[in-house]
Copies of this chain bind each other. A is one copy, B any other.
Amino acid sequence: MSLPAARPKALRCDATVAWTALQGHYQAHGRALDLREAFARDPQRFDAFALEAPEVFADLSKNRWDLATRRLLIELARECGLETRRDAMLAGAPINSTEGRAVLHTALRAPRGQGLFSDEVHEVLDRMLAFAEQVRDTAASGITDVVNIGIGGSDLGPQMVVPALEAFAHPAIRCHFVSNVDGHDIAPVLQRLDARHTLFIVASKTFTTQETMANAAVARQWFLDAGRAPADIARHFVGATTNQKAAAEFGIETTFGFWDWVGGRYSLWSAIGLPIAIAIGADNFRALLAGAHAMDRHFAEAPLESNLPVLLGLLDVWYRNFHGFTSRSVAPYHQGLKRLPAYLQQLEMESNGKCVDADGQPLPFGTSPVVWGEPGTNGQHAYFQMLHQGTDVIPVEFIAVKHPTHDHADLHTKALANCLAQAQALMQGKTSDAALGEKAPTASATLDPLTLARHRSFPGNRPSTMLLLDRLTPRALGALIALYEHRVFTSGAVWGINSFDQWGVELGKALCNQLLPRLADGPAKGDVAGLDASTAGLLRRLLA
């Protein structure tokens, strides 16, 4: 197959005409835009900023932008060659230029015969789903517990998706996730397991990841200590890896591979998704892929003006580089999405948390924001105080589902009312005059009423986005995740970043390898030669 060139010619955002225009627009209109006035002025504002994408309806109207902002942002995207860059990714160009790799997670969810590398992809997929179904036949397999041992991209995807799709999960199989090299992760998990009924998945592309190998070794030893024979390892350990040789040395015979064009944080669609497939079964896993594929088509084909991942990515740029907001809070009003923020932290911050562009030139503007959050309504009783009354503006992204996958209609209505109310409150705010007219039963009776009213007032004009799913099905979740992937691509492309490498993790790994012998039993233990005084002091203290 002939692949296109690595990087099509395009401008970095700060060299474009649109960027300069946006700077002027921000000073003239953007900074002062008041959402309450904007809604009062334009009865069509909701419709103008409502958007339908596959499985996801988005209301972008409560964001601090107007039609002119959106137009300029789309011009910015065009000047930055977003469409060409996107097409290059989808066509398999080696857009991960520092590693010389293509970026083809979209190929993992293309229907049979349609995507690049379709034969390879569907061969592994078919085999993996057949295996998952075998495990799910618990009467035959004897498996009640599945332990995924993996970290980063080999952990966060499955760890996020499995609880999200609990309503679709096999009722008699429990999934556990061990990632941290800290032994307080694996120790309590093993304590709850019966070796005869446990399947371990060792998930590491190279089968060399420090944490994963250390935990796999502990699991293997535990398995043998529990009275199982070495020959049983092949039936109770499988690998999501391309290193069949190392897996075989471990005792693993069954492996599911993937390719160098699957980045870790984009890998839940590949063999790394095996725990998901075991939890929800082959048909549901295919629905997850189909949802993501539908979003891929939307990203590839919808005009930029109505392209949801593109608009979300551009809004991120607007907030980060013009408004100067440094973080975004994500508030899924669905407890099953409790690990979505952690998943998005890797997806966004590892992809775009970079300070040089693809050419290695230092970037003079901010890139990835901090992404953080907890499910609503929990967050309301924790940090929402700061979202409403703190000194910084933090855009909030609400996610809600129209229909629940449980039977408690009353609870669901309350969850939705809370979700809408929070977005409304952030925008609406409350003047101290309004607060002055209200009763506050828990307030101090001796406090001056005006002072109290100031405490009870809210600045308002705080932006939020609402993403609405019909129901959190495998298909809808697949679309939602792909939406985030392409949104990160969009902001990364505008910023001119290579969103697909992660050189920032290398230095810590190298230094860890140098420190290990100084901490472990052996001739170098306690050696502090060449260390800075802080590291040396801490090392001495740890060994004292």
Say yes or no for A306: interface residue by CB 8 A criterion: no
Q: Mark A333-361, 1 if CB is under 8 A from B, else 0.
A: 11110000010011001101111100111
B535, A404: Cβ atoms closer than 8 Å = no
Known: A59-B538, A367-B390, A468-B541. A425 touches B508 (CB 8 A): yes
- 0/1 per residue, A374-408, Cβ < 8 Å to B? 11111011111111111110100000101011111
Within 8 Å by CB of A180, from B218, B327, B378, B451, lies: B378
Tell me, in angstroms, the Cα distance from A447 to B95 when the chains sit together.
12
A420-461 vs B, CB cutoff 8 Å, 1 = contact: the mask equals 111111011110100000001011111100111111101100
Known: A182-B333, A428-B511. 12 other contacts (CB 8 A): A47-B537, A61-B534, A152-B380, A182-B415, A210-B414, A218-B408, A350-B383, A366-B392, A370-B370, A420-B519, A455-B498, A458-B504
Interface flag for A520 (CB, 8 Å): yes
Cα of A356 to Cα of B390 in the assembled complex, Å: 9
Whole-angstrom CA separation of A455 from B458 in the bound complex: 44
8 Å CB contact of A519 from B375, B416, B541: B416
Chain B residues contacting A382 (CB-CB under 8 Å) are 152, 156, 342, 345-346, 349-350
Contact B534 A353 (CB under 8 A): no
Number of interface residues of A (CB under 8 A): 160
Q: Does A50 contact B (CB under 8 A)?
A: yes
Report the minimal beta-carbon distance from A412 to chain B, rounded to whole angstroms. Answer: 6
Chain B residues contacting A404 (CB-CB under 8 Å) are 182-184
Number of copies: 2
Provide a sorted-by-A list of 19 A–B residue pairs whose CB atoms are within 8 angstroms. Answer: A45-B534, A59-B537, A59-B538, A166-B184, A180-B335, A182-B376, A182-B377, A184-B404, A326-B392, A349-B383, A372-B372, A386-B504, A410-B520, A414-B512, A424-B531, A427-B534, A456-B503, A466-B538, A468-B542
Task: Please determine whether A350 and B386 come into contact, CB atoms closer than 8 angstroms.
Answer: yes
Known pairs A354-B385, A359-B451, A389-B354; A519 contacts B378 (CB<8 A): no
Q: Verify if A193 is at the interface (C-beta below 8 Å from B).
A: no
Question: When the two chains form the complex, which single residue of B156, B405, B458 contacts A184, counting CB atoms closer than 8 Å?
Answer: B405
Also in contact, A386 and B368, with CB within 8 A (given A421-B512, A450-B360, A519-B417)? yes
Q: Are A408 and B97 in contact (CB under 8 A)?
A: no
* A289 CB to nearest chain B CB (Å): 23
Contacts A383-B349, A389-B503, A512-B418; A408 near B183 (Cβ below 8 A):
yes
A352 to B50, CA, bound (A): 35
Tell whether A411 pairs with B215 under 8 Å between CB atoms, given A367-B390, A532-B424.
Answer: yes
Known: A342-B382, A355-B390. A423 touches B187 (CB 8 A): no
